Chain A
């Protein structure tokens, strides 16, 4: 019985990894072997080289890197402050404010594309990296996650710091932030993978090489009508996924644990 279950699990595992394995095969072999699986097929990096030359991927990578860094930095500051307010301060309107924050868990900026495009156009940010990131910086998910964490910090630590004369921000930095380190790591990983992979909003709000992230760059490249062959497109596809994929394969335990930590609310 257990052997049968193990076999089923392995079968599903193989089935699950097969599409990616297929992409790896196609990307690393000449195009005549793209769907022919011969063990003697020669390995090549030619497809990657051709993809890299055919589109400004270096620029796209730089844009994505900048985007992810800016979004995460903004999120860490804003969410920390807001979470601290919700966890340890009493102020009028706190409950309503918290509910208003939670609205974003349901209605993410992803669905408000028409209105947010209009706003970006009004403030003159269209086709820029800040335009891609700004709607996501005040993250309800981040605020919620950090609030839950800050609430578990014993009040005594807080009060001890206050007796020593520390102000609210000093207490936040010295007591709360260090204790929440694993949660920051978890949130950071989730945020980075979300924004590296995000597509529809960046597609809408950018239209030049100078601001496109890799996902949009990949789409522009692969939907071009110049008849690029599949091996090159697949190579480009793997290239854009590579930073996260490699990081995941190297630190898979941390990845899974971080996603788990972010998932328990």
Chain B
């Protein structure tokens, strides 16, 4: 091996070792463990074939969590992205108070999700919470927002949108600032209305950003369950259980690690799909440059 190659590998080695230990090995381990029973004591776990997966197919909570997660993604992602785009357009314009607006939109991003969840938990609390005070003052009947199966997931989704929209705004803001001002000037000179300029020039130029944000939003919606732990613990009756939360419960409340591994495999498969999306996105981006 040449000197160059040895130096290259030596430089890479420390990071590669940690990545292998905490990312690649666990991925392989997850797959391996999903075909084995949960080890008891010091004995090695026996091979059980597809048993964990059969348990999964019969597990109502798994299906509920999967559907919840899909609804959660479907409900939060388009709203967050649309809001992020609008926020970025406003903050990037010559609007009065745009510095203040940028602070307002971005602030939830720097707060810990758990703090955010606490604040909103109080907002949704029966009787004492602000929402209840508002609705009862307006003459509506009291309603336990986080305690009812029909509204709990929606409440959790609102929290996620509030936390994430400002974060996605940043990506749009970066993309908007890279659009040469001459394009807007040219459109204005031609007498094109602002709406036309936005729809026909800005939006197409933002397409790569939208795809990038989309992939990240999908990953986030399967990766982040802090708010579930704080606000509902998956309840009522698993109405807000998301996939990773179910993994957490099975793995660390019931200590059924074999089954938790099988559930994680599903999570990994979903992330792999998102990765495929990312790949297409990278492909697409090339065309725009």
Contact = CB atoms under 8 A, between A and B. Distances in A.
A143 B178 CA distance: 24
A210 interface: no
Contacts of A91: 1, 4-6, 8-9, 12
Nearest to B132: A35
B225 A107 contact: no
Interface stretch (A54-62, A155-163, A214-222): A214-222
A254 to B, nearest CB: 12
Interface residues of B, number: 93
A39 interface: no
B264 A234 contact: no
Contacts of B108: 16, 19-20
A249 B15 contact: no
A203 interface: yes
Contact of B271 (A107, A135, A259): A107
A260 interface: yes
Contacts of B96: 6
A52 to B, nearest CB: 16
A77 B116 CA distance: 32
Interface string B105-125: 111111111111011101101
Nearest to A138: B18
A199 B113 contact: yes
Contact of B15 (A78, A112, A256): A78
A114 B251 contact: yes
Nearest to A249: B103
Contacts of A38: none
A20 B114 contact: no
Nearest to B14: A78
Q: Give the interface SS of chain B, mostly helix, strand, loop or mixed.
A: helix
Contacts of B251: 113-114, 117
Given A12-B87, A119-B21, A200-B229, A112 B119 contact: no
A9 B125 CA distance: 29
Interface string A5-39: 11001101110110110110010000000110000
Nearest to B16: A97
A98 B11 CA distance: 13
Interface in A192-209: 193, 196-197, 199-200, 203-204
Contacts of B204: none
| Candidate in B6, B219, B224 with the most chain A CB atoms within 10 angstroms | B219
B104 A240 contact: no
A169 to B, nearest CB: 9
Nearest to B83: A12
A82 interface: yes
A263 interface: yes
Contacts of B56: none
Contact of B104 (A16, A94, A263): A16
Nearest to B120: A19
Given A81-B14, A81-B15, A241-B115, A19 B123 contact: yes
Nearest to B223: A110
7 contacts: A20-B119, A35-B130, A91-B5, A107-B23, A108-B223, A111-B247, A115-B29
Given A91-B6, A112-B27, 12 more contacts: A12-B83, A94-B8, A101-B19, A107-B268, A113-B252, A114-B257, A140-B19, A218-B114, A223-B230, A241-B112, A249-B103, A263-B171
Interface of B: 1, 4-9, 11-12, 14-19, 21-27, 29-30, 33, 83, 86-87, 90, 95-97, 99-116, 118-120, 122-123, 125, 128-130, 133, 162, 166-167, 170-171, 173-174, 177-178, 219, 222-226, 229-230, 244, 247-248, 251-252, 257, 260-261, 264, 267-268, 271-272, 274-275, 278
Question: Ordered nearest first, which 9 A-B pairs have the shortest CB separation?
Answer: A89-B8, A115-B26, A91-B8, A197-B112, A138-B18, A85-B11, A91-B5, A82-B15, A135-B22
